[in-house]
Chain A
């Protein structure tokens, strides 16, 4: 029987929904237990949120001042110690920048490889994952006698809801020497009132075709009308039209909203891999031959500066 340890991702006392997606993935292993580990300077609020997720057996808290910010070099030894002490068979983190940073460091400390971006679970040691920007899906087999460390491709797993669950919350003593060679300096959060790109039901994205930072207002306006998150192609971010945290794609965020509207985006494979799992893709582009139309459910050809304000007004 499997026993899963999930590392909670959180910021400012809020549990990230990516953690609830890891719970869904963990349940696919049909384990005897799913524990969630909260590493924080003040874990109580986050632990309370994790305890409500359906399927969670126990929440374990490690409260240390050093855990005020998620530094991989500081967290990994604690995660490795917790994974060892609890006789876990699986250690899961979300495939977010947090999970991608920490998980491989923990895996190496534990002497095992890592399965990145788990898309599906075939068995306790068999998974599928995307490679080559999602252009191939590989089945991987991990050693049957070793702990499995994996990151969960968040777009492949719906978030486990908060149910009637009230999992017990316990303090976990961990015996790990923490390094001081890595120090947090600051986090510059792009302040946005809009829904979070990674969990939003609707996303409106702009590309190089939008042309400037000022012009991006039309993307934001449409997003606001639809209560959607705003996203972008790499070209738009590189050109400085919008902040980096809006980038969708192979090297940005992989998302699965119900509705994705791509505006002035050509549809390079690196962008498409980020939106493959979207429910409905709408493309607005002046070039009717743009590759985005090969994947779009609804295509509209024309000048975005005319069409997008028209669409915004019609909704």
Chain B
């Protein structure tokens, strides 16, 4: 079985985002970019299934501008067998990403597609679910535990009420939550090895994806700010303030 992992490049989670004064976007020049943390978890999950002998090949895919090759090398160094770079100068929205990923799925016929539960730039949490719908296959979102055997995946999902377990027939789409695993560190020799691994490049426009229904972002603004409040010196002062506000 092949596993396809959606591997998005995003602004690193430690960066404090600044909105451009003209509202046209967020400042991206010189900002550190990293793999989406959930996608590192997705890749780790796929690698473990390969190590268990359940999968033979792990393919990472990204839809990103031409300069995203080092990002893919990073995933290859972590252990993916090969990479597909869908080149798009413009960022794509979840529906477009799902439509593009569907084209890759149709070509590669993976038994599992693993994505992050959300990209930490757009915070949409949509792409995996949309891909599963378009592919007409099961989805198991927000996975914190994954077992694959006998053509089925048993997935524990982090839901608001607690932990839900579902069983899905393969092929299926999984999206990862934070506690699914802890991604491995990349070792120096693996970075060297990754240089020899194949990256296939395709233009998004050449995939022939469907269009329509897209949403446009028209303005960006900083959030309403909370300001620093008062410091109290002891519990008595805190209780007095809470009582004053009618909160205790």
Contact = CB atoms under 8 A, between A and B. Distances in A.
Contacts, number: 257
Contacts of B136: 179
Contact of B142 (A101, A259, A288): A101
A182 B98 contact: no
A251 B17 contact: no
A190 B159 contact: no
B215 A131 contact: no
A104 B159 CA distance: 16
B196 interface: no
A234 B177 CA distance: 12
B168 A183 contact: yes
Contact of A259 (B120, B140, B239, B247): B247
B192 interface: no
A136 B165 contact: no
Contacts of B212: 111-112, 143, 146
Contact of A139 (B122, B132, B217, B235): B217
Nearest to B23: A139
Contact of B223 (A101, A108, A136, A184): A136
A251 B118 contact: yes
Interface in A128-157: 130-143, 146
Interface stretch (B43-51, B82-90, B106-114, B226-234): B226-234
A183 B166 contact: yes
B115 to A, nearest CB: 11
A187 B26 contact: no
A112 B129 contact: no
A137 B161 contact: no
A108 B133 contact: yes
A236 interface: no
Contacts of A142: 215
Contacts of A96: 160
Interface size class of A (residues with CB under 8 A): 35 or more
Given A137-B221, A296-B228, A76 B133 contact: yes
A269 B220 CA distance: 19
Nearest to B212: A111
B124 to A, nearest CB: 5
Contacts of B94: 104, 113-114
A148 B121 CA distance: 22
A136 B167 contact: no
Contacts of B13: 133, 270
B247 A104 contact: no
A171 interface: no
A244 B179 contact: yes
A60 to B, nearest CB: 22
Contacts of A182: 138-140, 166-169
A104 B130 contact: yes
A98 B125 CA distance: 12
Given A108-B95, A136-B19, A146-B213, A251 B178 contact: yes
A48 interface: no
B56 interface: no
Interface string A115-139: 1110000000010001111111111
A218 interface: no
B160 A187 contact: no
B215 A105 contact: no
Given A116-B125, A117-B123, A269 B217 contact: no
B130 A311 contact: no
B79 to A, nearest CB: 23
A245 B132 CA distance: 25
A314 B17 contact: no
Nearest to A109: B133
B130 A105 contact: yes
Nearest to A288: B231
B238 interface: yes
A248 to B, nearest CB: 12
5 contacts: A100-B129, A100-B141, A138-B221, A298-B229, A314-B239
Given A270-B13, A300-B231, 11 more contacts: A101-B129, A105-B132, A112-B212, A114-B95, A114-B130, A136-B222, A226-B248, A296-B229, A299-B229, A307-B235, A311-B239
Q: Which 6 pairs from chain A and chain B are nearest by CB?
A: A112-B213, A297-B229, A104-B129, A108-B133, A104-B126, A108-B130
